[in-house]
Amino acid sequence: MIRVVLPPHLRTLAHVRDEVQLDIAGRVTRASVLDALEARYPVLRGTIRDHVTEQRRPFLRFFACERDLTHEPPDAPLPAAVAEGTEPFVVLGAIAGG
Amino acid sequence: MSGVRVLVGTRKGAFVLTADGKRKQWDVSGPHFPGWEIYHLKGSLADPNRLYASQSSGWFGQVIQRSCDGGKTWETPGGGMTIKPGAMPAGESNKFVYDASPETGKPLTTHQWYDGTQHPWEFKRVWHLEPSLTDPDTVYAGVEDAGLFRTSDGGKTWQELAGLRGHGTGPSWQPGAGGMCLHTILLDPSNARRMYVAISAAGAFRTDDAGKTWRPINRGLRSQYIPNPTAEVGHCVHRIALHRSRPGVLFMQKHWDVMRSDDAGDSWREVSGNLPTDFGFVIDVHAHEPETIYVVPIKSDSEHYVPDGKLRVYRSRTGGTEWEALTQGLPQRDCYVNVLRDAMAVDSLDACGVYFGTSGGQVYLSADAGDSWAPIVRDLPAVLSVEVQTLP
């Protein structure tokens, strides 16, 4: 079970209160986590990465296990603790306010 | 008794204001979508309880919301949680992808940037939603970078009407200070194949074949700030309005100048007349008097607030040129708000109501066609859009 922490606005949009839990068969990468997230919650398509290019939206970043994974390749394996479900994969707004 | 529902889009959410036909006691619902920019909400004439809203954010992009109960509850069309793992998603309501196919998009991939170079067309947000006059599932969306999209399945999927961008002048379109937005969509109630749109800063365009082909309708516009002041395109049109009974007569608030066309946009003439300044954003037409129009003059393009610290709506009962200031109930000192292009609307009760919202968060109503004004609400976030539904 993969745990994903979303920013508050995306939790509201997806109608979830807390962490999202996803089942992923195969390699656990940023791409596979986001694929599973968007399949489960279609409303999130386009809010984290572009509909067509699948590029990360500019003001979002990715963290896990106190590491900044924002610029890691999307197909790179996520830390084992994320794959094992002991640590969450965090989607974070890069700047506050506005 | 009939009533009104006022749909207010703000920088930080949407609000729904409702009252009976007396328009004295108001119920305020919201914020809906708190914290998000709501550029526009609009209801369907064919089904007044069907509303659409454009929700956007610099972080998370564009979301389309739909209500089927007059704004009590909302959903993202086709965007609900997938029940069965691996099931096909019900829709892609937030997906606006430009048509770049050789057949219909030509392909058109660049427009003029601020510095005169060519720049890729990049979707940013939906500025305006215009529901079909007859089908609640069909809606047009005007977007930034300028393009026109349509859904015919209630917002689940959107397709571009690429003939607009592809008609020929697209590569010379240039953004205004607010971005290159398609902000005005007018449907001709007497001719289902005719539609008008306006783009900042490209100008006005018309189709007579339901959106397949388009042509610029900017003859008579004069814009001193572009190299050729009477160019075919390049004019910063801020808003166009028409009266349902006479859809070939158009009124325009341009960046500077208030204009009028009596031939469906084929030619325009200036009707700024005695306005204190002819810069502004909104323009609208009285529900029952097609020659009565309203504007809110703004000081200038570098000072986006009302002149002299006075919030004044100007009314012309002669279709332009002769204007009177409407001030009763509006602040006449120390007021420095703006009124944006989608932030004025009228109801169609017997005594026409006129509504507008300000950058200061007020929504004002005149229940007597502009003679006197009072705020419905005073302290909302900055208002981006105001629409009104007159309910049976």
The domain locations on chain B are 3-81+89-391
- Region B278-289: mean pLDDT is 98
Strand partners, B13: B10
Q: CA dihedral defined by B260, B342, B255, B196, rounded to 10 degrees?
A: -50
Whether the per-residue pLDDT at A24 is higher than 50: the answer is yes
The per-residue pLDDT for B240 is 98
The per-residue pLDDT for A96 is 64
* Three-point CA angle B204, B208, B209, nearest 5°: 125
Nearest to B28 by CA among B390, B392, B378: B378
Ordered alpha helix ranges (H), chain A: 8-14, 30-40, 80-84
- Please write the tens of the pLDDT for every residue from B78-97: 776 655 544 444 557 789 99
Band the pLDDT of B116: cuts 50, 70, 90.
confident
Report how many Cβ contacts below 8 Å link chain A to chain B: 68
The per-residue pLDDT for A97 is 55
Nearest-neighbour CA in chain A from B89: distance (Å)? 6
Chain B residue numbers touching A15 (CB-CB < 8 A): 81
Instruction: Give residue limits of the domains in chain A.
Output: 2-93
Domain B3-81+89-391 CATH superfamily? YVTN repeat-like/Quinoprotein amine dehydrogenase (2.130.10.10)
Residue B253 CA to residue B161 CA, distance in Å, equals 25
Decide if A40 and B85 are in contact by the 8 Å CB cutoff: yes
Whether the per-residue pLDDT at A26 is higher than 70: the answer is yes
Ordered alpha helix ranges (H), B223-287: none
Chain B residue numbers touching A21 (CB-CB < 8 A): none
The per-residue pLDDT for B86 is 46
- Please write the tens of the pLDDT for every residue from B172-226: 999 988 899 999 999 999 999 999 999 999 999 999 999 999 999 999 999 988 8
A2-5 and A89-93 beta bridge pairing: parallel
Length of chain B: 392
Of the two residues B177 and A35, the one the predictor is more confident about is A35
- Region B279-287: mean pLDDT is 98
The per-residue pLDDT for A28 is 97
The per-residue pLDDT for A94 is 83
Of the two residues B101 and B105, the one the predictor is more confident about is B101
Chain B residue numbers touching A93 (CB-CB < 8 A): 59
B118-120 and B237-242 beta bridge pairing: unpaired
Q: Residues B96, B36, B179, B215: is their CA dihedral positive or negative? A: positive
Residue B218 CA to residue B265 CA, distance in Å, equals 7
Contacts of B168 by beta carbon, 8 Å cutoff, 6+ apart = none
The per-residue pLDDT for B226 is 87
Nearest-neighbour CA in chain A from B26: distance (Å)? 28
Contacts of A2 by beta carbon, 8 Å cutoff, 6+ apart = A21, A22, A23, A24, A28, A33, A36, A82, A83, A85, A89
Nearest-neighbour CA in chain A from B166: distance (Å)? 21
Nearest-Å Rg of the Cα atoms of chain B is 20
Chain B residue numbers touching A9 (CB-CB < 8 A): 35-36, 57, 59-60
Band the pLDDT of B103: cuts 50, 70, 90.
confident
- Please write the tens of the pLDDT for every residue from B23-79: 999 999 999 999 999 999 999 999 999 999 999 999 999 999 999 999 999 999 977
Chain B residue numbers touching A7 (CB-CB < 8 A): 59-60
- Please write the tens of the pLDDT for every residue from A1-20: 999 999 999 999 999 999 99
- Please write the tens of the pLDDT for every residue from A60-70: 999 999 999 99
Mutate to test the interface with B, among A1, A6, A13 (most CBs of B within 10 A): A13
Nearest to B200 by CA among B281, B303, B297: B281
Chain B residue numbers touching A42 (CB-CB < 8 A): 78-82, 89-92
With contact defined as beta carbons under 8 Å apart, do B339 and B382 qualify?
A: no
Nearest to B41 by CA among B67, B59, B62: B67
- Please write the tens of the pLDDT for every residue from B246-274: 999 999 999 999 999 999 999 999 999 99
In this structure, how many other beta carbons lie within 10 angstroms of the beta carbon of residue B143? 24
Nearest-neighbour CA in chain B from A45: distance (Å)? 8
- Please write the tens of the pLDDT for every residue from B332-375: 999 999 999 999 999 999 999 999 999 999 999 999 999 999 99
With contact defined as beta carbons under 8 Å apart, do B110 and B98 qualify?
A: no
Q: DSSP class of residue A49?
A: B
Residue type, B326: L
Q: What is the average pLDDT value for chain B, to the nearest integer?
A: 94
* Residue B141 φ then ψ, to 5°: -125, 125
The distance of Cα B305 from the centroid of its chain, to the nearest Å, equals 19
* Three-point CA angle B219, B223, B228, nearest 5°: 80
Decide if B79 and A51 are in contact by the 8 Å CB cutoff: no
Decide if B57 and A45 are in contact by the 8 Å CB cutoff: no
Q: DSSP class of residue A80?
A: H
- Please write the tens of the pLDDT for every residue from B187-196: 999 999 999 9
Decide if A93 and B59 are in contact by the 8 Å CB cutoff: yes
Q: CA dihedral defined by A39, A40, A44, A49, rounded to 10 degrees?
A: -40
* Residue B354 φ then ψ, to 5°: -120, 135
Distinct helix (H) and strand (E) counts, chain A? 3, 5
The per-residue pLDDT for B91 is 58
Decide if B61 and A57 are in contact by the 8 Å CB cutoff: yes
Domain A2-93: give its CATH architecture.
Roll (3.10)
With contact defined as beta carbons under 8 Å apart, do B318 and B289 qualify?
A: no
The per-residue pLDDT for B101 is 81
* Residue B260 φ then ψ, to 5°: -140, 140
